[in-house]
Chain A
Amino acid sequence: MVGLAATAACSSDSPSPSSSAGASPGTPRKGGLLRVGVIGSSGNIYDPHFTSSDTDQGRGQQIADSLALLAPDLPYRSELALAESFEMNANATVATIRLRSGVEFHHGKSLTADDLIFSLQRILDPTNPGRAASSLASIDINGIKKLDDLTVELTLKAPDSLLPTRWGSSQTSILPTDFDPAKPVGTGPWVMQSFQAGARSTYTAFPNYWREGQPYLDELEIIDFADNTPRMAALLAGQVDAIDGVDSTLIPQLPPSGFTTVITKSGFYQPITMRVDSAPFSDPNVRLAMKLLIDREQMVQQAYSGLGEIANDMPCPGDPGYPDLPQREQDIEQAKSLLRNAGYEDLTVTLNTSAQNGGMVNSAQVYAEQAKAAGVTVNINIQDAATWSANHKEDQFKQNYWAAGLVGGSWSQRWSEGGRSNESWWSDAEGDQIYNQLLSTTDEAQQAEYAGQLLTKLHESGPDIIHSFKSNVDLTTDKVKGVIPMESNGWNLGSWRYRLMWLEG
């Protein structure tokens, strides 16, 4: 049996003086109100199982907890939350979950195995599946067995050794059997007081929260903004205390004092993706040439104002199996000769992009500029977010944005045949086989080796130009402390761990 060790109530995501930039040393102070400004919309909902936008996910996470949570630092790994243990059998077909005892919901009910079963059935309900249905698809809804009051056994439809890593989001929250979407309660650090779609939601600290001593603040307000400009104005005018996921070009607008910039290095990336099912990108030499066009250092400086790291055409730098391959450098001569030999001298392509994630359009422009040196003309087509997502999968040459993770966690969606987000139309039978082997073993060294093989494939002939990892930027007033940098996924403002934040002075 292989299992995840239970972590103490005060887990390693607590702030400590040794944390990197942005984390604040000092002793948490009790009390106060934190106002966080987010980019929201009136479509927002608060039922944790049905949240889809980042904003909603952040909201859901305040009222409910899941079995595990992603650790903030690298390598990418999960930490147990409501689960005391999460064990898989050796071939990853049966999972045994033991829940933490003495955990209370906001309305006083204690957490039991029935709540876990109820939540799984609610997420996997075929007539109205929750948003996590695709990531928990390996669970057989008819094979959920209650072993005792706190223990549940899951039988899987197919091996899934990554199952313990699939519980980080609010979409996998454990909700009580008497959950009422009109009055949502969970085991989370905050009790929801009010919610107005597109405007704001307010919360008070849950006094019986299972993580001893948290949250530090008494009250929390999450305030929605239509756009970045008013949100920045609200921070500068003192109407909110913190804003997340800020475009790095806004940093120079900050006054010299009073504000703190939290920069988090992570594996967040904005790949330029080529469709491999048609010319010219069906030719691996053309794909390689397109990767050789980039001056990666210049890309980080110009597209991300220097707030990023160069990448090596592989995602998932936090994957324990990330291979140590030589860094790919700009080589215009080789790119030109590859293109010439493939019969695509003076190649002209259209790069489809959208401004919906900061830096996307900038990096497209830098790429187009750099490609000129090899005689490649890149025309940029900037689309509004909805048009972009509608056409995205069909477009031949395009950009997207992805959080970091494990390559095994995204392979089935992004690079396996028929994957929902397989925007490159990539198909690699050998890769899919390696992926299945990865899912079938719980041996960590084996998993890392398989992951390394998948990443190497992507480096050598993959459809994605992954030139850099973009750092995430959060802004707070100097009073806000305890914002942890989330290196493991790059999500904003400590992956919405408001329970760890406090106000100084």
Chain B
Amino acid sequence: MIRSILLRRLVSGVITLWLISVVIFAVLHVLPGDPRLIALGDEYTQEQWDAMTREMQLDQSLLAQYASWFKGLVTFDWGNSLMSPYPISELLGSAIYYTALLTLFVMILVIPISTVIGVYSAVHSGRLADSVASFLTLSLAAMPGFAIAVLTIYFLATNVFRIFPGSSIFNPNASVWSQLDLFALPVLASVLGLIPYPVRMVRAAMIEALESDAVMVARLKGLPERTVIFRHALRMCLGPIVQAFGLTLVFLSGGTIIVETVFSYPGVGYELIQGVGRRDFPVIQTLVVILAFFTIVLNLLTDLAVMIVTPRLRTRM
């Protein structure tokens, strides 16, 4: 049963990815902004224009351009950026590495923090602690990501306290691990922006579990409250919790653009913004497809994990 669902999802995922590649290619080519103009500036000769056209292969038909890009994409031969002599794989490889590290650090913090706050709020539902937690998470949820990021810079890097570096400018000639302080603010800003959703999800699932018959039975049996909460209630809401973190991860993988821009953090969001600004078609197209790929895979893995931790769903298969 799981196998057939998996197969169906894989096939639909591949089709979705292909459609995305077509759409992003088409959208970019109708968007105003000619990369040749951006590369050459205001003053150029006809020879420069022609040389640039050949170099960027813009003299070929759209279909030929798509075909050659798509072929490269699936064979992992991503070609060169239009604007620089560097292979896209090199540009993106480093960006993906940095974004993956950021994601890792953020999730290591988000999962325990939001579980603790969510469970605590649910157990103390309606009391002061719950109201305070609700107020804080709702306030954070209402704040745009860039505002959170700028505020962390203001308070922790520049104007109030000078604890952390204000910009994540990594020295590429030194090891990332010797520059861990550069992660502080992007991780903090991402965590603050992300926790409201899983906190609300954990709290809701936990409240539901605490009100369930199973928990009532456990309490009637006279089990200690601690055991009731952690052994019984928490286990019952593992499904929704895993789903919440899966979705958080999806938000994060697509939503690092703001945080990376505000902190000059050299990840995929940064590369994407740079690529769009320069109309660097192959870079944007490839990045968008990679981001879509991760989103689809993460969604799939999340659903799988939910099935595995939810006995009800597991048996139904």
Contacts and interface: CB of A to CB of B under 8 A. Distances in A.
A230 interface: yes
Contacts of B32: 386-387, 390-391
A223 B274 CA distance: 15
Contacts of A131: 40-41, 44, 48
A200 B172 contact: yes
Contacts of A198: 91, 266, 270-271, 274
Nearest to B170: A199
Contacts of B173: 194, 202
Given A129-B51, A230-B262, A231-B264, A236 B159 contact: yes
B86 interface: yes
A407 to B, nearest CB: 16
B158 A239 contact: no
Interface in A92-143: 126-129, 131, 133-135, 137
B75 interface: no
B83 interface: yes
A181 to B, nearest CB: 8
A234 B167 contact: yes
A126 B274 contact: no
A250 B173 CA distance: 31
A234 B166 contact: yes
B121 interface: no
A235 B55 CA distance: 38
B43 A421 contact: yes
Question: How extensive is the interface on chain A, given as a class?
Answer: 35 or more
A59 to B, nearest CB: 13
A505 B12 CA distance: 64
Interface residues of B, number: 53
Contact of B261 (A199, A200, A227, A386): A227
Nearest to B83: A43
Nearest to A233: B166
A126 B48 CA distance: 8
A60 B34 CA distance: 25
Contacts, number: 152
Interface string A30-65: 000000000001111100000010000000000000
Nearest to A420: B43
B167 A413 contact: no
Contacts of A181: 85
Contacts of B44: 131, 133-134, 420
Nearest to B182: A239
B2 interface: no
A301 interface: no
A225 B159 contact: no
Contacts of A239: 165-167, 169
Nearest to A199: B172
Contact of A43 (B33, B51, B168, B280): B280
Given A230-B264, A389-B33, A43 B170 contact: no
A52 B172 CA distance: 24
Contacts of A137: 45
A233 B265 CA distance: 13
A237 B162 contact: yes
Contacts of A223: 169
A196 B169 CA distance: 12
Interface string B42-64: 11110110010000000000000
Given A133-B45, A197-B86, A229 B279 contact: no
Given A227-B264, A239-B167, A134 B271 contact: no
Interface string A177-201: 0000100000000000010111110
Interface in A224-279: 224-227, 229-231, 233-234, 236-240, 253, 255
B85 A226 contact: no
Contacts of B188: none
Given A199-B172, A226-B274, A230-B263, A387 B39 contact: no
Contacts of B172: 194, 196, 199-200
Nearest to A135: B43
B249 to A, nearest CB: 24
Interface in A402-423: 413, 420-421
A386 B158 contact: no
Contacts of A237: 157-158, 162, 164-167
A342 interface: no
B46 to A, nearest CB: 9
Interface in A189-217: 194, 196-200, 202
Contacts of B166: 230, 233-234, 236-237, 239
B148 interface: no
A9 interface: no
A385 interface: yes
Contacts of A128: 51
A226 B41 contact: no
Contacts of A386: 31-33, 38, 276-279
A299 to B, nearest CB: 24
B41 A236 contact: no
A197 B44 CA distance: 24
B153 interface: yes
Contact of B84 (A44, A194, A226): A44
A327 B163 CA distance: 52
B273 interface: yes
Given A202-B173, A420-B43, A226 B261 contact: yes
B274 A41 contact: yes
Nearest to A227: B261
Nearest to B280: A43
Nearest to A181: B85
A413 B39 CA distance: 17
B256 to A, nearest CB: 12
Nearest to B271: A42
B253 interface: no
B169 A413 contact: no
A251 to B, nearest CB: 14
Given A129-B47, A131-B48, A389 B37 contact: yes
B167 A231 contact: yes
B42 A413 contact: yes
A223 B171 CA distance: 9
Contacts of A421: 42-43
Contacts of A253: 159
A126 B54 CA distance: 13
16 contacts: A41-B83, A43-B274, A52-B39, A197-B91, A225-B167, A226-B260, A227-B262, A229-B150, A230-B263, A237-B158, A237-B162, A240-B169, A385-B277, A387-B33, A390-B37, A391-B32
Given A41-B83, A198-B270, A384-B277, 8 more contacts: A44-B84, A133-B45, A135-B43, A194-B172, A196-B172, A230-B261, A255-B159, A390-B33
| 8 closest residue pairs by CB, A with B | A233-B166, A386-B33, A43-B83, A230-B264, A234-B167, A236-B158, A237-B166, A230-B167
